[in-house]
Amino acid sequence: MSDCCPLPERGGFDMAVIGAGSAGFSAAITAADLGAKVALVGHGTIGGTCVNVGCVPSKTLIRAAEAVYGGIAARRFPGLGGSINLEDWSALAASKDELVAGLRQKKYIDLLPAYPDVSYVEDMACFANGRLMVGDKPMPVGKIILATGARAAVPPIPGLDAVPYLTSTSALALDSLPQSLLVIGGGVIGVELGQMFARLGVAVTICCRSRLLPDMDPEISVALQMYLEAEGVRICAGVGYQRIVQTAGGFELTCESLSNAVEGAQTIVAEQVLVATGRRPNSDGLGLEAQGVKLSRNGGIIVDDYLETTVSGIFAAGDVTGRDQFVYMAAYGAKLAARNAIGGNEHRYDNATMPAVVFTDPQVASVGLTETVARAQELDVKVSLLPLDQVPRALAARDTRGLIKLIADKGTDRLLGGQIMAPEGADSIQTLALAIRHSMTVADLGATIFPYLTTVEGLKLAAQTFDMDVAKLSCCAG
């Protein structure tokens, strides 16, 4: 890999970017475009989490599992029958690996020769005695951007360190599917992979300490649990973990209800266990604290609004900051960090209208404030809640799973946030993001023309629901 780009003498770099994933490449390319000579330092598989073990492999398998489910769900249309089954996991997994390898080559490896001012250095980096060390040699540079990503977080469950559990990475690389799977964690990764494996024929149980998708409003959690349970997924929410042990047939997790002591402890048995309790920043082993770079409680590198750390000239972006752990936010933040490192701190990081998507089915998408957060901030808000059976697109598709929720300021009528739960919800959230970004009011959104028989039309109907009963409107009458 390092042969593709001639390496200048160390000391000839204006910037070192540590980490060769999405954030690292974004920072390096941006800096090179601004005229800087950049050392892009990577360790491990080039491309980082998203293309190799995260977004790309998981979403293609999720889509495949959705096709299996669709074969059964098609019976909701009178006159349709039949089904689709998973016949060859190995073939499906191989196609996933082929896609990953192709994108890694095209979007990462093949890009390097196009940027002669970016030199790829494959080695480990750390700070020692006030200097940046790459391998066993110092690398004098002007500015530094840390973009080392994150890894699976491991919860403190008694016995977990003694059992061979799966993470999202190893779960996506299984040679064969287990008969049963226990998923620990009800966040994004847990619900996405839990539903995927269930649709491919695995008996899945999801256990979580709180509720499914706890960062969303409760209506989303309740609805998603109902839909997953309807597909046969067992949900054990609001439980505390007592211990986990490996047995001859798999694993046993003993847990108890956190809300009802009368229920007592229960034991969940599964052939495999997947730990999906979030991501931990890869900030350890870099010598950051000795360098003066401060970390948050979760290990994230603390940065200011310009992505600069507590040490002047050292910036950080992406998952290693412990916030907004989405690949597009990593790339966005890294681009700003590079601009600020080279030209001075002029570009503020802004996540106020950051869209987020959970690729369950129905999909869950959100932007702006949830009602829970808005009320915690003591904002005077009003809320609209529209079930999907009021959206013509859902009726025509005979799939009314989901809802649309909007939050607005009661005094100004300005939109503050919203959540869309719908089979095609992910492709509609950006419309709401733009509406919030440009300070649209509920009245503005409700008066906007939307195409009929689309999911995004539900935003217009949800806006109108603040003031009227849209069930009493004729088609397109709003």
pLDDT digits (tens, 9 = 90+) for 362-389: 999 999 999 999 999 999 999 999 999 9
Give the CA count within 13 Å in the CB-facing half-sphere of 101. 6
What residues make up the domain containing 391?
Answer: 356-472
Residue 83 binned pLDDT confidence (cut-offs 50, 70, 90): confident
Same-domain check for residues 166 and 197: yes
Q: How many CA atoms lie within 13 A of 72 on its CB side?
A: 10
| Distance from C-alpha of 248 to C-alpha of 257, rounded to nearest angstrom | 26
Confidence of residue 473 (pLDDT cuts 50, 70, 90): confident
The answer on pLDDT for 1 being more than 90 is no
- Is 78 within a domain? no
Give the position of tokens 């700070």: 127
Q: What is the CATH number of the domain that holds 408?
A: 3.30.390.30
What is the average pLDDT across 13-20? 98
Identify the residue with better confidence: 473 or 444.
Answer: 444
Lowest mean pLDDT segment, chosen from 262-276, 290-304, 344-358, 385-399: 262-276
Residue 449 is assigned to a structural domain of this protein:
yes
Same domain, yes or no: 216 and 255: yes
Mean pLDDT for 229-242 is: 96
CB 458 within 8 A of CB 384: no
Average pLDDT of 452-478?
A: 89
460 and 373 within one domain: yes
Do residues 36 and 136 share a domain?
yes
- H-type alpha helices, 77-187: 89-107, 168-171
Peptide bond preceding 116 in cis form (omega within 30 of 0) = no
Same domain, 171 and 129: no
Q: How open is the CA angle 144-333-289, to the nearest 5 degrees? A: 45
* 102 domain residue, yes or no: no
Mean pLDDT, all residues of the chain: 95
Structure-block tokens of residue 28: 């390096």
Statement to judge: residues 318 and 221 lie in one domain: no
> Which CATH number fits the domain that encloses residue 119?
3.50.50.60
Q: Do 142 and 287 belong to one domain?
A: yes
Indicate whether 272 and 286 sit together in one domain. no
Is the pLDDT at 2 greater than 50? The verdict is: no
Q: Two tokens at 97? A: 């690996």
- 218 occurs within a structural domain: yes
pLDDT in the model for residue 471 = 84
Is the CB of residue 255 less than 8 Å from the CB of residue 207? yes
Task: Using the predicted structure, report yes or no on whether residue 5 has a pLDDT greater than 60.
Answer: no
Last residue of a domain, one of 314, 343, 372: 343
Are residue 165 and residue 253 in the same domain, yes or no? yes
Contacts of 379 (CB under 8 A, 6+ apart): 369, 409, 416
Per-residue pLDDT at 259: 81
Say how far apart CA 125 and CA 288 lie, in whole Å. Answer: 11
Q: Which of 343, 368, 390 is the last residue of a domain?
A: 343
Residues 144 and 292 in one domain: yes
Res. 477 pLDDT band, cuts 50 70 90? low
54 falls within a domain: no
**Percentage of residues in the chain with pLDDT exceeding 90?**
92
The residue from 313, 343, 373 where one domain ends is: 343
On whether both 312 and 371 belong to a single domain, the answer is no
pLDDT digits (tens, 9 = 90+) for 106-163: 999 999 999 999 999 999 999 999 999 999 999 999 999 999 999 999 999 999 999 9
> Do 195 and 113 share a domain, yes or no?
no
Identify the pLDDT of residue 9. Answer: 46
Residue 181 has what pLDDT?
A: 98
The span from the CA of 173 to the CA of 193, in Å, is: 13
447 assigned to some structural domain: yes
Q: Is residue 212 included in any domain, yes or no?
A: yes
For the stretch 420-448, pLDDT in tens is 999 999 999 999 999 999 999 999 999 99
Q: How many domains does the chain have?
A: 3
